[in-house]
Structure 1
């Protein structure tokens, strides 16, 4: 099959590799190079780097509003367009170009967590599972019928980064299954999404990472997991701002003011919350690297409290 692939971040790379197996990827669409790093140099996306390694033509339009952009896609005569975290909304006029339309690999069990940040929102909400949906794209935001899906259990201490990597691999697997069916002449049966249970995974905002100690410890522990590795939870602890890499909620009652340091030892820093206690296990001081609570206390012996 002649496939056009559209994707941008690391999450999409395993799916590109799956698409390139036993199919002809005639072009890869990805976001234009963006400034990155301290030098703010223009940097190609992970998908562009993978495409160039494979010798695949790379196309980087700002959008598909111009007629010339649609004409260029039509000239590729694609059987199918595969979209994975591309970052652009595709108009119906683009979705209609490929023979079999456009497939999207989405990192949630639709209709739960439509939108930009389904992986992090699932952890933040305390969901027990996530998964991958291979969806036939339509004009709405992640509203199209589901072709294939597979669930995946979220680990009790799993971070956003860890779940991201597992779902990226699972997405490639589900996509490969769908492509195998299509090559065999079997079109996956589209199943309309339920009208019940629709939730939206809004884009992450760095301001969300500032923890509010008046919230329950379970809520804060989920935020710490969800926002690792970005934007990384941060909070005022013992008079300084720390970034929190790992923490767990303790089901413990207290009458202390939220944000108070209750205990500090090798097991962690125990902070009073609106409900329960948050034990910080791994943290990062400004300008430093991630360290254990025990190592942190070596530099802050004044904080050791029983």
Structure 2
């Protein structure tokens, strides 16, 4: 098929690679404008742009798709369908109507649960047992179109947003290729029941609030790895917490007080249970096991963790 592809991060880049490998033509690729990143704040292309340039596709990086100039560029590609994955711009109806077979979206949840920007993190935060990929025929709503194909994956107790992202990206790439081979398809309308929205992650959400149950804080740590990283203050050290687990039947204590600190972990009392911190990072440093961190930072039981949240 002759396709337009629209996407920005690695999740989308993996799908683009699979589509090209399956033999489809992709004359036009839409992606977000280059962004400043890194210590030097140099402009960096998106993962999708890097793939598009490697395969020889024309790259188009508009700030919006509402204008006639952008829409005409899309029309000139004369595509049978457009595949969209984590693109970052809203497609107006005029764009949705351009391809003969419409626009198809790869979404990282089992719709209608977790429509919106951060479905992977929200599924982990909510303690969902499973999530998946939905291949959807796009309409003017927010992730509300008919489902063409879906497949579930289990969320394990040690899944982070990074590990779950990688599994879903691979699944999305496979499912979109299988879906394209079967177009046109009749989609299944989404149920009005079970609709939930995955709002964009706010950095303020990453602060560990010891007044929450330990199980919730452990999910928070996993959901915010690799971005923005769960954060807390212990013994005067502001730390990012990269690995932690809720201790079953942990000894109760005053929320935010260190109960034990040794090479096995830093145990902090929560409103319910105990959070055992296993891997941390100081500002400007690298990730450290708790054993390595404590080798250079003494931490006694009874130490109070400063409340960074709005207490």
Q: Which segments of structure 1 move beyond 4 Å, counting only runs of 4 or more? A: none
Would the aligned equivalents of 1:280 and 1:293 in 2 still touch at CA under 8 Å?
A: yes
Range with greater deviation from structure 2 (107-116 or 11-20): 11-20
Would the aligned equivalents of 1:148 and 1:188 in 2 still touch at CA under 8 Å?
A: no
Count of matched residue positions in the alignment of Structure 1 and Structure 2 = 301
Q: What is the CA–CA distance in structure 2 between the aligned matches of 1:206 and 1:171, rounded to whole Å?
A: 27
1:303 corresponds in structure 2 to 300
Range with greater deviation from structure 2 (32-41 or 115-124): 32-41
1:17 corresponds in structure 2 to 17
Range with greater deviation from structure 2 (216-225 or 31-40): 31-40
Would the aligned equivalents of 2:131 and 2:154 in 1 still touch at CA under 8 Å?
A: yes
Displacement of 1:119 in angstroms is 0.4
Q: Name the TM-score, length of structure 1 as normaliser.
A: 0.96
Match of 1:204 among 197, 201, 204: 201
The answer as to 2:81 corresponding to 1:90 is no
Would the aligned equivalents of 1:238 and 1:261 in 2 still touch at CA under 8 Å?
A: no
CA RMSD of aligned residues (A): 1.2
2:151 corresponds in structure 1 to 150
Specify the SS of the correspondent of 1:178. helix
2:181 corresponds in structure 1 to 180
Unaligned runs of 5+ in 1: none
Q: What is the CA–CA distance in structure 1 between the aligned matches of 2:197 and 2:36, rounded to whole Å?
A: 29
Q: Name the TM-score, length of structure 2 as normaliser.
A: 0.94
Displacement of 1:251 in angstroms is 2.6
Deviations, residues 275-300 of structure 1 (Å, cap 9, x unaligned): 10000011112221111111111112
Q: What is the CA–CA distance in structure 2 between the aligned matches of 1:219 and 1:47, rounded to whole Å?
A: 34
Q: What is the CA–CA distance in structure 1 between the aligned matches of 2:253 and 2:73, rounded to whole Å?
A: 64
Would the aligned equivalents of 1:14 and 1:168 in 2 still touch at CA under 8 Å?
A: yes
Q: What is the CA–CA distance in structure 1 between the aligned matches of 2:115 and 2:65, rounded to whole Å?
A: 22
Would the aligned equivalents of 2:137 and 2:187 in 1 still touch at CA under 8 Å?
A: yes
